[in-house]
Amino acid sequence: MALDVLKRNNTQLGLALCLAISGAYAFSVNQANAQITPDTTLPQGERSLLDLGSGQVNGEIVDLIKGGAIRDINLFHSFLEFNVGNGQSVYFANPAGIENIISRVTGGKASNIFGTLGVNGGANLFLINPKGILFGQNAKLDVSGSFVGTTADGIGFGNQGVFSASNPEPPSPLLTVNPNVFFFNQIPGNMNRGSITSQAKLEKLAVDNLLLLGGDVEVIEDSKISTNQGGNILLAGLSAAEGQVALTRDGNKLGLDFPDGVKKGNVVVKDSAIETLVPEDSNVDGGEIRIIADSVEVETSNNDQGIVTITDKNGNKSGDIIITADNSVSINSTPEQDRQGIFTITKEEGGEAGQITIDAGSLTLNNSQIAQGISTINDVNDQNAGGISITTDSLVIIDPIQGSQDGGLTLTDDGTGEPGGSIITSVDAVGGNITITTTNIVVSENEPTIQTDQANQGQDSSAGDVSLEVNGNVTLADNTRLDIEAEKDQDIPSDDEKINDIFANTETAKDGNIAITLQGLLINFRLQEGRTPFNDISAISFTGDLSLSGLLEINGKLNSTQDPGNLPISLVNPS
C-alpha cells in the first residue's frame, strides 16, 4: 500500500491517494477497465481527447487528456467512461490561464482509478461521477492545486448555469467563474447517494485542499489521509434525497455550506488517521481538518490514530480541527495506548498547537486515558497549546479530555450529561483555564477530574482557574466524587491519598481558584474509611479561593481552609 509522493520541477509536492468513492454497488479491482472514453455531449471541436504517450512529467512518458471546452478560467471535460489502469499514468493538459479543470462522467458507470491521475500544471481538478469513484491501492493523485472528488449530480456556477453529469448538456458560454455549489439528485430516477471509503495509506498530500463530498465517509483498516506544507482536509457527506451544498472560498481554502435542516451523511474513522503535518523547520502553518456530518465516530486501537494535527520540531503552528455533527460524536480508544482520538500536538520548539472545536448533538468519550480522547499537547515547549471548545446538548465523558497551556477548555452542555472521567489541562508553565457551562451534571459510578496541571516539577508556576457553571443541578451519587485540581505534578495520588469530591490542590506558587455557580448542588456520600480528612468540598492552598453562588446542599461535611463567610450552605446531614 505504499504510495510514492510525486514531485514537480517547481518542488511542489503532489498527492498520493488511495480511497474509494463508491456508488450503490460494490467494486473490485477485476471490474476495472483501463478505458477513457469521451462522450459526445460537448460541441465538435471541444470534445475531450486521450492522446496516449504524448506527454512527459518528471521525465516519465504519460498519457495526456487534451481538448475540452474552455470557458475563461475553466476547462470542461466530459466522459462516457473514465478509468485509469494499474501502472497507467494519465494527466490532464493544463493550458495557460486555466484555473479549474472540471470533469464529469455521464455513462452510468463508476470510475476506477488504479494508476496515476494528475494535472500537468497548477490547476484545481474536479472529478464528478454520481455513480461512484474508486481509487485502488496503487492509485496516485498528482495535483498541485486542490482536488475535489464528489458523487454530486452536478456543479453550479452562480446564476450562470450548471455542469451536470446526470443531465449532460454543453457548458454554457457563461460558465466563466469559479464553481460555487454542488447539486445532489436533482434528476428523477438517479441512484442512491454514493459514499467515500479510504482503505489505504494516503500520506503526504501536499495540496491547497483535499475535499471529499459524497454520502457517508469511511476511513478504515489502518488507512491514512495526511497532508503537509499547509494542506487542508475537508470531509463531508449528504444523505438527503436531494439538496445542494454551497462551495465557499476563503483565499486558497475551500469550504462547504450546508442548508439548514438537510440530512447529512456520517463519517467513520476506524483504526486509521486523518492528519495534517507541519514538517521540521517549516515556516508554513499547519493545515486545517474540518468534518461536516450527521454523526462522527472515531475508534482507535494504536498510537497516533484518530484525527490529528501535528507540528514537528521547529515548525510553525499546527492546524485546527473543526467537527460539526448534527447528531453525535463518539470517541472510543484503547486504554493500553497513549496518543489517540482527536488531538493537536506541538513537538520540541514547535509553534502553538491548534484549536479543537466540536459542535455536536451529543459527545461521548469512552475507554480513554490521559492524552487520549480530546487533547491539545505541547512537548517540552514554552508555546501555548490550543484551546478546546465543545458545544453539545448531551455530554457523556467516561474518560479524559486534555487541554494545555493557556489554551484552556470550554465545555457548553445544553442538555443533561453524565461526565465520569477527566477534563485536564497539562502544562509546563502557566496552567490553562477550564470553563464548563452545563444544564445538569450527573456523576453516577465514575470519578471525574477537572484539572489544571503544572507539568514541570520545581518551577514556581501558576495553576489555571477552574470555573463550573451549572444552570440546573450537580448530583454526585454515593461513593463518587468530582475533583477540581491545580497541582504541581502530573502524578495523581492513589485513592488512599487523594482529596475527594470537589477540591483545589496546589503545592507551589500561585494557586488556582474554584468558582462554582449553580442552582443547586446535592452531594450524597458516606465518609470512606481510610480517606484523608480533606474530604468533600475543600480549597486546600496557600492563596486559593473557594466561592459558590446558589444553594449548596451537602449530606456530609464541608472542609475548607478559607472562611466560607455567607455562602448559602445547607448541611443536611453533617455527620
Q: Could you give the 3-state DSSP secondary structure of residue 165?
A: coil
Residue 361 located in a structural domain: no
For residues 539 and 508, is the Cβ–Cβ distance under 8 A? no
Residue 254 located in a structural domain: no
Question: Could you tell me the sign of the dihedral formed by the alpha carbons of 355, 356, 360, 363, in that order?
Answer: negative
pTM: 0.72
How would you list the strands of the sheet with 401-404, edge to edge? Answer: 201-202, 224-228, 273-278, 305-311, 340-346, 374-378, 401-404, 422-427, 449-454, 483-487
Q: How far apart are CA 122 and CA 94, in angstroms?
A: 8
Residue 266 located in a structural domain: no
Of 161, 191, 221, which residue is a domain's last? Answer: 191
Residue 253 located in a structural domain: no
Domain count, the chain: 2
Residue 483, pLDDT score:
52
Residue 30 located in a structural domain: yes
Q: How far apart are CA 12 and CA 17, in angstroms?
A: 16
Q: Which three cell numbers stand for residue 529?
A: 474509611
For the chain (575 residues), the mean pLDDT of every run of 10, in chain order, is 34 41 39 75 96 91 97 98 93 97 94 88 93 78 88 93 93 94 68 56 59 83 74 88 89 89 90 83 86 94 85 79 93 72 77 82 67 61 64 60 47 43 38 49 48 41 48 49 41 31 35 42 38 38 42 44 45 44
Of 174, 191, 208, which residue is a domain's last? Answer: 191
Residue 140 located in a structural domain: yes
Tell me how crowded residue 30 is: count the other CB atoms within 10 A of its CB.
6
Q: Which three cell numbers stand for residue 68?
A: 475540452
Of 170, 191, 212, which residue is a domain's last? Answer: 191
Classify 429 in phi/psi space as left (phi over 0), alpha (psi -120 to 50) or beta.
alpha
Domain hosting residue 430, numbered range: 418-575
Residue 262 located in a structural domain: no
Q: State the distance between the two ends of the chain, measured CA to CA, in whole angstroms.
A: 66
Which residues make Cβ contacts (< 8 Å) with residue 129, sequence separation at least 6?
Answer: 21, 82, 104, 105, 110, 111, 151, 165
Q: Could you give the 3-state DSSP secondary structure of residue 31?
A: helix
Q: How far apart are CA 398 and CA 28, in angstroms?
A: 40
Residue 521 located in a structural domain: yes
